[in-house]
Amino acid sequence: MGQIEWAMWANEQALASGLILITGGIVATAGRFTQWYFGAYSIVAGVFVCLLEYPRGKRKKGSTMERWGQKYMTSVVKLFGPLTRNYYVRAVLHLLLSVPAGFLLATILGTACLAIASGIYLLAAVRGEQWTPIEPKPRERPQIGGTIKQPPTNPPPRPPAEARKKPSDEEAAAAGGPPGGPQANPIPVTDEVV
């Protein structure tokens, strides 16, 4: 299992734990269980964990499927720099967050799941993984005629073969490439490409 990026699984696990914490917290608060204030804490912790874990990190190799709408959270998570990049920090953070929820029955499953996620993040950190944000690729606008700096300097009608510099069959392959060598044109040529 050498090539597994454990952080990928840890991320899914932590996101699921966040949702479980929120659910348990709502149940405890709505039902007014004893010590329901732990439930309120659990909702807040769950929301925080979900927001932190929602943007997926970039895989080391291959392409990463982004979650829908994750780019908004990516910019926020990116702001914290090493705190969110480093998985040791995440492992400790998740472990600490999970402890108070363990005091209430309704959220104990969330505690267990988040603790497991913390363990997997620790494993990921030990193997040197890091969270890298998925940046949107800058869209390259196809420059129409961008590589054409100047029009062909030897358009037809051309002077006879001995004056030509290139053999004829190479013209079929290269398209729009700059021609070799200046040539005095018998007819003036204007650049029509914008």
DSSP reduced 3-state for 177: coil
Options 31, 145, 159, 180; binder of other proteins; rule CB under 8 A: 31
Question: Which one of the spans 28-36, 82-90, 150-158, 181-189 is the region binding other proteins (CB under 8 A)?
Answer: 28-36
Does 1 engage in binding with other proteins (CB under 8 A)? yes
Question: Which one of the spans 121-129, 130-138, 169-177, 186-194 is the region binding other proteins (CB under 8 A)?
Answer: 169-177
Options 9, 48, 70, 71; binder of other proteins; rule CB under 8 A: 9
Does 168 engage in binding with other proteins (CB under 8 A)? no
Do the beta carbons of residue 87 and residue 52 sit within 8 Å? no
Question: Which one of the spans 40-48, 112-120, 131-139, 180-188 is the region binding other proteins (CB under 8 A)?
Answer: 112-120
CB atoms within 10 A of CB 108: 16
Burial class of residue 174 (count of CB atoms within 10 Å of its CB; 0-12, 13-18, 19+): exposed
CA gap 187, 12 in Å, rounded = 68
Give the footprint of other proteins on residues 120-149 (CB under 8 A).
none
Options 47, 109, 123, 148; binder of other proteins; rule CB under 8 A: 109
The tokens describing 51, both together, are 């927001």
Shortest Å distance, C-beta 92 to other proteins = 21
**What is the DSSP code string of 84-104?**
HHBHHHHHHHHHHHHHHHTTS
Going by the DSSP 8-state scheme, the letter that residue 12 receives in this structure is H
Closest to other proteins by CB, 93 or 120: 120
